Structure 1
Amino acid sequence: MSGYLDPVAAADPESLRLFCFHHAGGGSSPYRGWQRALGPHIAVRPVLLPGRERRGAEPRFSEIEPLLADLDARLDEHLAAPHVFFGHSMGGLIAYRLACRRRDRGATLPAALIISGCAAPHLPWPLPPVEALDDAALIRLLTDLGGLPAPILEVPALLTAALPVIRDDLRVCADARNDAGPPLPCPIHAFGGEADPLVGELDLTAWREHTTVHSEVRVLPGDHFSQFDRTDPLFDRLRPLLRHYAAPGLVPPHA
């Protein structure tokens, strides 16, 4: 198993693989309940970047290209079977750029990209450079966005450990924002929160410029993080969508 993937139970070889990319400062743990929620026809594969959780001792990436090269090499054998990419916030950018890299080298592409809480990559990066923010300013910004859970804010040692990870992840995000070439030949489904201060519906609609096939936008209750954390509305939409890609003969849920 790649170091990027959590150990998982053996899946039916016919299952559609769902590779899940986490947000800046996050990890793979939010995805660990998804297998039960999405059902046996989906094999959930959370992707964990280095420098956090069980990979806490490994060096982090702060630029997109070295990260993509490492992801592509280490995940390649797992991406040979039918699969879909899901990414929230930073994870959406990484999923998109990884798909672009694989297109450029003629590798197997995902059946679809499912993007959550992430503006189209050609749009300006909405946050100030992390170098312009001291720790206090960065904490205020993240708190306003709902990106620092109470347990971290209440324990100084946890906050001190989290900030360098968040800084490097935000550097990756800023570095990843470009159009990365021609549109992808796979559908893009973009989800967003109705009260997200970073990503509006027009930012999501702009993903249509990055696919030659189909794009759609679904707006959910919540802000940048809560529309992802409140999983019931999200799962209500993901289940039929993934059933379609697991059994392509089904009528697409957007039809």
Structure 2
Amino acid sequence: MFCLPCAGGGASAYARWQERLDAFGARVRVLPVQLPGREDRAGEPRFTDLDALVADLDERLDTAFARPHLLYGHSMGAFVAHALTLARQRRGAPLPRALVLSSHRAPHVRPDRILDPDADDEALATSLAELGGIPWELARRPRFRAAYMPLVRDDLRLCSGWVEPADVEPLHVPLHLFTGVDDHLVPLPKMAAWRAHGARGSELRTMPGGHFFVRAHEDELLRAVAALTTRYGSAVPAV
């Protein structure tokens, strides 16, 4: 299962997933995807264009994607996962057995300005802290904001686009959707709108918590993900 991070995040967000999924009986290998410009790839230029990032990921992961797999993305990661799967569908490449997506508006839903990439560092950090993305203690530190907000801002711009409803091209994979019941950034209707993108059906599950329920209620999410790996187990062998 390949895992894509949220805006401002990196592969370390999934550091505990293999251990926890093993504990829940999942038979799957967790493969966090590290994007450029963060953590151990901090020295590489960041992408701010979605199509360019998708082309890079498609090429870099093409061999790995030839094996049966699931693709998970949280927030920005969900948006990127959809775009990557759509690009591969259009060129006839192997697709994931299912997409597991959490906490991002469907691609035909226009973004709001709760997290505004054009806001100054202090305002953007405040909005992110209100959503639970960073601790308030860090949000109040000017040096932290100066170092971290440019990454967040670039990522927000990366996933700021949308398609017209008439141009929706459904994916030929099942969609498994998760959203926090108290998520003010991506309320339930914006997550339910993903159903228009699932030609093989979709399932939507609400979780306790807000936009970052994946942290506060990680085990509950991973129990559900473990069940999905069992459902698709004949196609997603352990490595």
Aligned length: 231
1:50-84: per-residue Cα shift (whole Å, max 9, x none)?
A: 11100111000111011111010011111000001
Partner of residue 224, structure 1 = 211
SS at match of 1:110: coil
Offset at 1:217?
0.6
CA-atom RMSD in angstroms: 1.9
Query: In structure 2, what is the Cα distance between the partners aligned to 1:152 and 1:76?
Result: 38
**Which of 220, 223, 236 is equivalent to 1:233?**
220
- The alpha carbon displacement at 1:127 in A equals 2.2
Aligned to 2:75: 89
Q: Does 1:30 align with 2:13?
A: yes
Stretches of structure 2 that go unaligned for 5 or more consecutive residues are: none
Structure 1: distance between partners of 2:13 and 2:204: 23
Residues 14-52 of structure 1: per-residue CA shift (max 9 Å, x gap): xxxx00000001111120111111126201000111111
Say whether the 8 Å CA contact 2:122–2:139 is kept in structure 1.
no
**Quick one: distance in 2 between partners of 1:112 and 1:140?**
35
Aligned to 2:3: 20
Taking the aligned partners of 1:230 and 1:128, their CA distance within structure 2 comes to 23
1:55 aligned partner:
41
Q: Distance in 1 between matches of 2:114 and 2:185?
A: 12
Kindly tell me: are residues 26 and 129 of structure 1, through their superposed partners in 2, closer, same or farther at Cα, counting changes over 3 Å? closer
Question: How many angstroms apart in 1 are the aligned matches of 2:53 and 2:44?
Answer: 13
TM-score for the superposition, normalised by structure 1:
0.85
SS in 1 for 2:71: strand
Percent pairwise identity: 42
Tell me whether 1:184 sits opposite 2:171 in the alignment. Answer: yes
Residue matched to 2:111: 125
Between 1 and 2, higher relative CO (CA 8 Å, sep ≥ 6) is seen in: 2
Please list every run of 5 or more consecutive structure 1 residues that lacks an aligned counterpart in the other structure: 1-17, 249-255
Contact 2:108 2:168 (8 Å CA) reproduced: no
For 1:35 and 1:98, the matched residues in 2 are separated by: 23
- The corresponding residue for 1:211 is 198
Conserved 8 A contact 2:21-2:223: no
Deviates more, 1:120-129 or 1:72-81: 120-129
TM-score, L = length of structure 2: 0.90
Change (3 A) 1:132 1:153: closer
